[in-house]
Amino acid sequence: MQLQIDNEYDRLEAVMVNRPGAEIERLTHENMRRFLFEDVPYLRRLQDEHDAFVAAMKDHGVGVYYMREMLGETLADETVRTALLTQVCDTAGVPAIRDDLIGLKHWSLPELLVLLFAGITSEEFHERTGKRVGTEGDDPVFLLPPVPNAYFSRDPAVVVRDTAISSKMHYRERIRETLLVRAVLEHHPEFSQNTICYGGSSEPTEDRPYTIEGGDVIILSEDAVLVGASERTRGETIEVLAQNCFRHGRIKRVYELAIPAERSFMHLDTVFTVVDRGMVLWFSQVMANIHSIHRYEQDENGDGTSARRIAETRSFPDILRDEFATELTIIDTAGGHKHYASREQRSDATNALAIAPRLAITYDRNERTVAALEDHGVTCIGIDDSELVRGLGGPRCMTMPLRRAPAKA
């Protein structure tokens, strides 16, 4: 698989997803907010809805890779398994359990794969190994906490042109997602020939506190990337990312767009997505009030990797017109009706996934946003979301695009 994402709207050829599993059943009323959920999903229905979402992509010719399956194949290599489990256990503050996991003495490889997502409690560890291990973290029950957000595969990594960004998650509860996806990108034969331009395992200087998540990264064109400075992505990170992109020769401009650092707008793609060249969907309550925009360009007087930060004088719509090199059509969430826009924003109406120009997957429930899109010539593929939406993410959040076909001249 040669990675190639030059924009947000050309025909999607391949994508990585992560089907939700046993980690969802770890959620309770008491711990759901710790794990960044507002409610407790019903797993079987959640899986049915996710399966229907994947089927909709396959019906339109999209090749789908399952991250969990790819990780299982990657972990068959003992060297890779040792390195990954060392990272996982050290990050969780439980290095004492590493050797029991690496050797597969007490768990089969399929069981280990479940454990990496669902976590393990001290009692479960004792039942399997006969050993008692305390924890250094806040939770006296979980040795390895679960990662129930892992079905939002957009955030751990994002492809920019023919390279990848390995994210650095803002909340500790999501760090393991990055470790698992990075192991696949670096070591699975399907992907290992590609490069990681930011966040590779050999780049410790790019680790926390330089946080960035995939939902904040939007590919405007072959030359330009838009990154939200949000609750989850730091401005300092965007500068380092720009330097790396320039050094790798992938793009010419990186835009830093400040959005409110609030949970309700956790990523840029919760308030702004692209459905075709020159056609965007946005939540105007946020996007019409953007005032802080900076542009990074390569400093010609530097060493070839330096990024020059320039305060933008253009408005955001003008930037989009220039980068798309065409007229701009802005579609407001819920058609601009303030009351319904607020309702549908809560259920990720703006988080549409374009799988081809003016062909997007959306949640059925966001009827007024769907109507607004269709009024502008966008065909919407609606999917059920009574459970998917409980994690506060939409179709774009649930995908990591790997390759889009270039537009025909």
Do residues 126 and 255 share a domain?
A: no
Give domain status of residue 139, yes or no.
Answer: yes
What are the pLDDT tens digits along the chain (409 aa)? Answer: 999 999 999 999 999 999 999 999 999 999 999 999 989 999 999 999 999 999 999 999 999 999 999 999 999 999 999 999 999 999 999 999 999 999 888 999 999 999 999 999 999 999 999 998 875 555 558 999 999 999 999 999 999 999 999 999 999 999 999 999 999 999 999 999 999 999 988 766 556 678 999 999 999 999 999 999 998 999 899 999 999 999 888 799 999 999 988 877 889 999 999 999 999 999 999 999 998 999 999 887 666 668 899 999 999 999 999 999 999 999 999 999 999 999 999 999 999 999 999 999 999 999 999 999 999 999 999 999 999 999 989 999 999 999 999 866 4
Specify the CATH number for the domain of residue 184.
3.75.10.10
Domain that holds residue 365: 12-70+148-404
Find all residues with CB under 8 Å of 46, minimum gap 6, and list them: 20, 24, 151, 387, 388, 390
Do residues 113 and 198 share a domain?
A: no
**For the chain, what percent of residues have pLDDT higher than 70?**
95
Question: In sequence order, what E strands does 312-358 have?
Answer: 329-332, 353-356
Find all residues with CB under 8 Å of 322, minimum gap 6, and list them: 314
User: Of residues 89, 197, 380, 397, which has the active-site annotation?
Assistant: 397
Do residues 130 and 118 share a domain?
A: yes
SS3 (DSSP) at 246: helix
Give domain status of residue 215, yes or no.
Answer: yes
Active site residue 89: no
Do residues 108 and 24 share a domain?
A: no
Q: From CA 301, how far away is CA 307, in angstroms rounded?
A: 10
Q: From CA 102, how far away is CA 104, in angstroms rounded?
A: 6
Do residues 131 and 203 share a domain?
A: no
**For the chain, what percent of residues have pLDDT higher than 90?**
86
Of 127, 144, 161, the residue that ends a domain is 144
Task: Please state whether 211 falls in left (phi above 0), alpha (psi between -120 and 50) or beta.
Answer: beta
Total number of domains constituting the chain: 2
Q: Could you tell me the CA-to-CA distances from 155 to 21, 181, 273, 279, 368 in Å, in that order?
A: 18, 10, 15, 23, 27
Q: H or E element: which one contains 403?
A: strand 400-404
Do residues 77 and 153 share a domain?
A: no
pLDDT at 303 (0 to 100): 63
Taking alpha carbons only, the member of 399, 404, 403, 405 closest to residue 16 is: 399
